[in-house]
Chain A
Amino acid sequence: MIKSTYLEAITSGLREEMVRDENVFCLGEDIGAYGGAFKVTQGLLDEFGEDRVMDTPLAESAIIGAAMGAALMGMRPVAEMQFADFITTGFNQLVNNAAKTYYRWGAKVPMVVRCPSGLLPNAGPFHAQNPEAWFFRVPGLKIVAPSTPYDAKGLLKAAIRDNNPVLYFEHKDLYRDKAISQELPSDDFIVPIGEAFIRRPGVDITIISYGKMVHKSLEAAELLSEDGIEVEVLDLRSLLPFDKNMILESVKKTSRLLIVHEDTLTGGIGGEMAAIIADEAFEFLDAPIRRVAAIDTPIPFSSPLESYFLPNTEKIVIALRDLAAY
């Protein structure tokens, strides 16, 4: 069987859902003839026509607002942000409109906003952010962030079928990463929203991570294993709602926790994870809860600054060793 990249898995998920349900359609900047900035929607225009693969003006407020309107009318739109960074101009449409409509008026808003996020080399402050935390505190939204092709496809299909607005964060640096490509099942499958996954079982330290940092965490865990320290790597997959039970179970087993995310530290999702563990598993902790994240600055352009800014395997290893020695 042919292995799928993360990007191919997303495309495949989109295609399958569009075939399955004629209410599913895509809209976004240059997603039609151009195939999207990252070519996720390449080929879909030819297959489904311009009514279902719609190019839009450069206006995220309009894209998200139109998607919401379509969703209210019974469609299942999948809106593409060219870069997740640009979602801010559609912030009101998401946070005040889409997120609150079901609560306020009882109307379902089954829409997906695809957000290509994360750092590609030398992308600078406006094309490489991980803005999931901006939405993490908004009741009414769902957020997913797959780390593998299987999850990318399964979570996208689950998001499209979900009756709530779902933000789908796809990491740009994973798109064409051959190292993580997978053979995918040929049958129709989904990955349920809200379920985490243990990527690597361990007994000594738990890492909670998501997106690309799952792979960096796995590399670090492999290195620690050489010292006899077995690190459990928990891939959140869904950020909102997140799998609290699995997190608690893992931490209760290992008693030590490291949270790793590519987003900047302050106000990141890691803070909430730490708070929940401190609240509900305090008496199971044998060490302080630690976080490895990007430093609290805009994303630098230059390569040396970039590596200084970003979390990486080495920084995770340092934090793990520190925790193990605690």
Chain B
Amino acid sequence: MRIEIVMPKLGESVMEGTVARWLKEVGAPVARDESVLEISTDKIDTDVPAIESGILTEILIAEGTTVSVGETLGIITTDGEEVLVETDNIDEQKPDQERSPVINIHVNQEDIAISTIIPPSRDRFYSPLVRRIARQEHVSHHELDTIHGTGINGRVTKNDLLGYLKVQTKESSSTEKPLRSDQEMNRPYDLNVADITTMNNVRMSIAEHMVRSKRISPHVTSVSEVDMTDLVRYREKVKEAFLKKEGFKLTLTPFFISAIVDALRKNPIINASLDGDNIVMWKHVNFGMAVGLDKGVVVPVIQHAEAMNFLGLARSAFDLATRAHARRLSVDEIQGGTFTLTNPGMWGTLFGTPIINQPEVGILATGAVKKRLEVMEDETMAIRSIMMMSLSYDHRLVDGLNAARFTESVTQNLEIFDYDQIGL
């Protein structure tokens, strides 16, 4: 049997990947789960394993070539079949060059005078009709790329697109503006253009996601102040010892995560999602932490964060952030989050109004910690380290009361931190 090795979908935002290196040659036997090739995407570099044991009989995509998710990269022929090794088919093109389409047309040209127009497919071919419908229905090219195609070579047919639109219409019974990030701007006549570039896939995906999230969830953002004085002092006191012991710097991030995870356990409605008419309460806290990269934000997820102690969270956060910068995260590590923390305070921002990372229902942004003159309970004045913290929540599911209880809990956890758990 011929098994296709396809470009895997490495997370919601990744629409294409590059074949970095073939680890097997044509004709080589491969065992199930054995790595066959390495691929590289905007966010992650990873191996692609064989889904069945057999012989790698065809390499269709050459190293250095970038193709869409779902495209066939090579063929494994499983045992018991006549194995015919073909090397002629290998796409010999150099990196960054356009790949010529490998299209087999099963028409008996000798028997019949049929003229065939072969589509000039680069990544994915869209017929004039599909493109017209997409334009009329405000489906962006990027969104088109996500539609499953039933035509030849996975082409999206008219019916595929109409079916997709039907489902979309059903899903969003609202009459709000259509989702699109490719809306043309109304450009004032006196603006001089310095440069125009097309968004990369990550950017487009983020753009789509942001527009979609704002459309799906009615956002409310609540801002609270947290007195971080004790926590900042504590960190100053132990940071040398921590660095020595753990080998990385103790930042505020693990304190935030620890405080939020505890608050989520006490307020499970924030650790939930909406699925149609159903409220889905998540069993675990899979904690997403936004990490800013040059190409865009990536949100690695600490799985089952509720089961970790402070040190475990700190190590996990450091490890994920480090590997995010090195683009060495695995697919599993950027999926399945239930709540997200973003930390614009790192760059001095006082507070933000973050957009929810769907399908979560809350995202918390921590602002900059500033020394301020504060009037204390006993009406004395003191210099305190104050941080603003904002929670955006999906008002469909989360009421103001839920949100306030949650942020109150986070605030308490940070202001009166249980330092014993750190074990220093």
CB within 8 Å of B: which of A262-288? 264-265, 282-288
Binds A, one of B9-17, B42-50, B114-122, B250-258: B114-122
A326 close to B117 (CB less than 8 A): no
Contact of A286 among B107, B118, B130 (CB under 8 A): B130
The answer to whether B218 has its CB under 8 Å from any CB of chain A is no
Chain B contacts with A in 153-184, Cβ cutoff 8 A: 155, 157-158
Contact present for A318 and B108 (CB under 8 Å): yes
Determine whether A10 belongs to the interface, using a CB cutoff of 8 Å to chain B.
no
Please provide the chain B residues from 251 to 285 with a CB less than 8 Å away from any CB of chain A in the complex. Answer: none
* Residue A289 CB within 8 A of the other chain: yes
**A319 close to chain B: CB less than 8 A:** yes
Q: Mark B100-112, 1 if CB is under 8 A from A, else 0.
A: 0000011110011
Complex Cα spacing A289 to B129, Å:
13
| A153 on interface, CB distance cutoff 8 Å | no
| Number of chain A residues close to chain B: CB under 8 A | 26
Which residues in window 85-113 of B have CB below 8 A to A? Answer: 105-108, 111-113
Residue in A284, A287, A291, A308 whose CB lies within 8 Å of B114: A291
Which residues in window 13-72 of B have CB below 8 A to A? none
Which A residue sits closest to B151, measured CB to CB?
A: A326
Q: Which residues of B contact A315 (CB under 8 A)?
A: 111-112, 114
For the residues of A in contact with B, the DSSP-based class is mixed
A contact residues around B129 at 8 Å (CB)? 255, 283-286
**Which residue, of A286, A288, A289, has the highest number of chain B Cβ atoms within 10 A?**
A286
- Nearest-neighbour CB distance to chain B for A206, whole angstroms, equals 13
B151 surroundings in chain A (CB, below 8 A) = 325-326
Contacts known (A283-B129, A286-B127); A322 close to B117, Cβ less than 8 A: no
- CB-based A-B contact count at 8 angstroms: 65
Complex CA distance for A286 and B127, rounded to whole angstroms: 5
- Known contacts A285-B129, A287-B127: A292-B152 contact under CB 8 Å: no
Q: Could you tell me the distance between the alpha carbons of A49 and B102 in the complex, rounded to whole angstroms?
A: 69
Kindly provide the distance from the CB of A68 to the nearest chain B CB, expressed in whole angstroms: 35
In the complex, A311 has a CB within 8 A of chain B: yes
A306 to chain B, nearest CB (A): 13
Q: Smallest CB–CB gap between B338 and chain A, Å?
A: 41
B128 is an interface residue with CB less than 8 A from chain A: yes
B residues less than 8 Å from A295 (CB atoms) = 113
Q: Is B132 an interface residue (CB 8 A)?
A: yes
11 extra A-B contacts, CB within 8 A, seeds A288-B118, A311-B112, A315-B112: A255-B129, A265-B115, A283-B129, A287-B127, A290-B114, A291-B114, A318-B108, A318-B114, A322-B105, A322-B106, A326-B157
Chain B residues with a Cβ under 8 A of chain A = 105-108, 111-119, 127-132, 151-152, 155, 157-158
28 A-B pairs within 8 Å (CB atoms) are namely A255-B129, A255-B158, A265-B113, A283-B128, A283-B131, A284-B129, A284-B132, A285-B128, A285-B129, A286-B128, A286-B130, A286-B157, A286-B158, A287-B127, A289-B117, A290-B116, A291-B114, A292-B113, A292-B114, A296-B113, A311-B112, A315-B111, A318-B108, A318-B114, A319-B107, A322-B107, A325-B151, A326-B157
